[in-house]
Structure 1
Amino acid sequence: MDSQPSQPAAKTRNLIIAIAAIILAAALFFGIKLDSQGNSLGALAKTATSYEVAIASDKPTMIEFYADWCASCQAMAKDNLALEREYGDRVNFVMLNVDNNKWLPELEQYNVDGIPEFVFLDGAKNTQGTAIGTVPKQIMAENLEALIAGNDLPHAQLVDGNASQFNAPKPADNTAPRDHG
């Protein structure tokens, strides 16, 4: 007895395997692509409130100073996007890229010395606290809840050490943004 399948059966089997492989490859490709786009710093920055709009509003604001090359910033992107989705109707979420010289005045104003650095502002735009480095989602949520309620932040000066070193660049003419010489 011959154990080889007939020619038409072999072609049908090969066709089914090829179709299954194409479907699995497409699912894997689109699954990875959607996840990387949906939880990236770029996705978070696109959904963020602009700094100008946030400062003009009476809602509390959380400013994140970040850089695309910052591993801690990238690691927190998924959690921060989830927090923005949960609290975005009550808190402005602002993303300021430290590599953009446009934000030099804000880097100086908020004394940014590590990234990610989070600055929590009440509705009147007074600084209520900061957090530097990788901050667990639960800690961020507790700070946001307190900010919304107008209470003191439970983790107001949190620094965890997992931050990228950052030194704000000085303008080419060596003047600071507030120098009026």
Structure 2
Amino acid sequence: MTANLPEKPTAPFLNQLRNLIIVLTATVLAVGIFLGLRTESSTVSLTDLETDSIPYEVALENGKPTLMEFYANWCTSCMAMAPFMRELETEYAERVNFVMLNVDNTKWLPELTKYRVDGIPHFVFLGGEGEAIAEAIGEIPRAVMAENIEALIAGNPLPYAKAKGQNSALNSSALPKTSSKTDPRSHSAQVVN
């Protein structure tokens, strides 16, 4: 007596099934990677931050403390900080002015000179009367920036004043073309008699 056993699948059928599983798995992984990379990429541009920031002149006169950022669209450190700077601006907008000044705009040459900007991003923390309290240069971690903003609001000394992080050397077309011997930002100015 022979039992009726199901027939064994043929080799071509197994190969097709295996190939289908591989294709489906690869597709799911590709979609997952694509969506993962998309959600990690910054959707905040520096131009958007500047457009949404408080005008410099208004910030100096409205009585609120100010965080002023000197930046350039080509600055990789500025771009890296943009997403969390947007978050901080949203969080503190009622209590702090956020001002963005593009170093490639010749309009800001007096401010570039006044605050001795020689690397970007360059942050200047201003009190409610527009007086410079502290500065930070370079790519600053979000937590450090948030602590500085909290201290600025409270009127306390900034815990990370004069902080320095990775920055881009300032090479702006807005700067006057002078000899490095007479440029006060060169840090090697010489007095000629």
TM-score of Structure 1 vs Structure 2, range by shorter chain: 0.7 to 0.9
Distance 1:50 1:116 in 2: 18
Letter in structure 1 aligned against 2:128: G
Q: Which residue of 1 aligns with 2:102?
A: 97
Letter in structure 2 aligned against 1:69: W
Q: Which residue of 1 aligns with 2:176?
A: 170
**Percent same amino acid among aligned pairs?**
54
Alpha carbon RMSD of aligned pairs, Å? 3.2
1:62, CA displacement in angstroms?
0.5
Q: Which residue of 2 aligns with 1:57?
A: 62
Query: Residue deviations 1:132-169, cap 9 Å, x none?
Result: 0000000000000000001111111x343411011561
**Is the contact between residue 37 and residue 43 of structure 1 (CA under 8 Å) also seen in structure 2?**
no
Query: Would you say 1:86 and 2:91 are equivalent positions?
Result: yes
Q: Which residue of 2 aligns with 1:25?
A: none
**Is the contact between residue 77 and residue 121 of structure 2 (CA under 8 Å) also seen in structure 1?**
yes
Q: Detail structure 1 runs of 4+ shifted over 6 Å in the superposition.
A: 28-37
Among 139, 156, 167, the residue aligned to 2:144 = 139
Distance 2:135 2:100 in 1: 14
Q: Which residue of 2 aligns with 1:68?
A: 73
Consecutive unaligned residues of structure 1, counting only runs of 5 or more, are 1-27, 177-181
1:44, CA displacement in angstroms?
1.4
Normalising by structure 1, we get a TM-score of 0.73
1:9-158 superposed matches below 5 A: 38-156=43-161, 158=162
Consecutive unaligned residues of structure 2, counting only runs of 5 or more, are 1-32, 184-193
Letter in structure 2 aligned against 1:95: M
Distance 1:33 1:54 in 2: 35
1:170, CA displacement in angstroms?
1.2
Letter in structure 2 aligned against 1:63: M
Letter in structure 2 aligned against 1:169: L
